[in-house]
Amino acid sequence: MSSVDTQSLLLQMRSLAAQAQANPVGGSQVVQAAESGEKPENFADLLTHSIEAVNKEQHKSKDFKEAFERGDSDVELSEVMLQAQKASLSFQAMTQVRNKLVEAYKEVTQMPI
């Protein structure tokens, strides 16, 4: 294993945090789908794709951690930490989206008919 350059790692983490804020949950997958001509049929499809993207990040993070724990020489600690942060940020963003949806639902149900 090589030594970890903490400054480089910190810069990468900040860059990923900025990307996560610019492209909320599943944003990169939505952009890729738009570039390839695919468009989600409706809001439910978009939400489903976003949840699947968060799930994929979580599983990837788990796989990186397990590989590092096994002593796999191809996986470095910095990669494990970056993937864990990506998974955490995507989960937090999805939680915020869920909270906003619940708030919107409550507002709609409280509207007078």
pLDDT, tens digit, 9 for 90 and up, residues 8-44:
666 666 776 676 666 654 445 544 554 455 555 677 8
pTM over 0.85: no
Instruction: Tell me the C-alpha distance between 33 and 97, whole Å.
Output: 20
What b/e readout covers 59-71, taking b as 16+ CB neighbours within 10 angstroms? eebeebbeebeee
CA-wise closest residue to 54 among 98, 6, 110? 98
Break the chain into its structural domains and give their ranges.
6-109
Q: In the chain, helix, strand, coil percent, each to 5?
A: 75, 0, 25
Q: Which residue type occupies 58?
A: Q
Q: Tokens 């949840």: give the residue.
A: 51
Do the Cβ atoms of 54 and 97 come closer than 8 Å? Answer: no
State pLDDT tens for residues 59-79.
999 999 999 999 988 889 999
Can you give the pLDDT at residue 44? 81
Can you give the pLDDT at residue 39? 59
